[in-house]
Amino acid sequence: MSYDTEYLQVESSEDEFVILKALLETPNEFVSGSLLAEQLGVSRPAVWGKLEKLREQGFEFEAVRNRGYRITKEPEVLHPALVRYYAEKANTPIDLLYFPVIDSTNSEAERQISFGRRSPFAIASSCQTKGRGRLGREWHSASAENLYLSVLFEPNIPPQQLQHFTLWAGIYICRALQNFVTKAPLKIKWPNDLHCDGRKFAGMLTEAKMDADTMRSIVFGIGININSNPTSYPDEIRKIATSLYAVEGEELSLSRVAASVLQAIVSAYNACIQNQTTESLPEAWAPLSSLSGKPVTALCGEKTIQGIASGIDDSGALLLKGADGSIQKVRAGDVTLKK
Choice from 92, 105, 263, 310 touching ligand BTN (CB under 6 A): 105
CA 204, CA 191: separation in Å to the nearest integer? 9
Do the beta carbons of residue 238 and residue 155 sit within 8 Å? no
Between residues 192 and 228, which has the closer beta carbon with respect to ligand BTN?
Answer: 192
Binding residue for ligand BTN (CB under 6 A) from 81, 222, 244, 320?
A: 222
Least distance to ligand BTN from the beta carbon of 165, Å?
A: 15
What is the footprint of ligand BTN within residues 152-171 (CB under 6 A)? Answer: none
H/E segment holding residue 309? strand 303-312
> Applying CB under 6 A, does 128 fall inside the site for ligand BTN?
yes
Can you tell me which of 12, 92, 104, 289 binds ligand BTN, judged by CB under 6 A?
104
The bridge status of strand 147-153 relative to strand 187-189 is: unpaired
> Does residue 134 belong to the site contacting ligand BTN (CB under 6 A)?
yes
With binding defined as CB under 6 A, does residue 98 bind ligand BTN?
no
The C-alpha atoms of residue 99 and residue 287 are separated, in whole angstroms, by: 35
Query: Residue 132 interacts with ligand BTN (CB under 6 A)?
Result: yes
- The nearest distance, CB 10 to ligand BTN, in angstroms, is 17
Distance, in Å, from the CA atom of 32 to the CA atom of 260, rounded to the nearest integer, reads: 30
148 binds ligand BTN (CB under 6 A): yes
Is residue 94 within 8 Å of residue 88, measured between CB atoms? Answer: no
SS3 content of the chain, % helix, strand, coil (to 5): 35, 30, 40
What CA–CA distances, in Å, run from 274 to 165, 266, 288? 12, 12, 24
For ligand BTN, the nearest residue by Cβ is: 203
Phi and psi torsions of 246, nearest 5° = -65, -35
Under the criterion CB under 6 A, does residue 106 sit at the interface with ligand BTN?
Answer: yes
For binding to ligand BTN (CB under 6 A), which residues are involved? 104-106, 128, 131-134, 137, 139, 148-150, 192-193, 203-205, 221-223
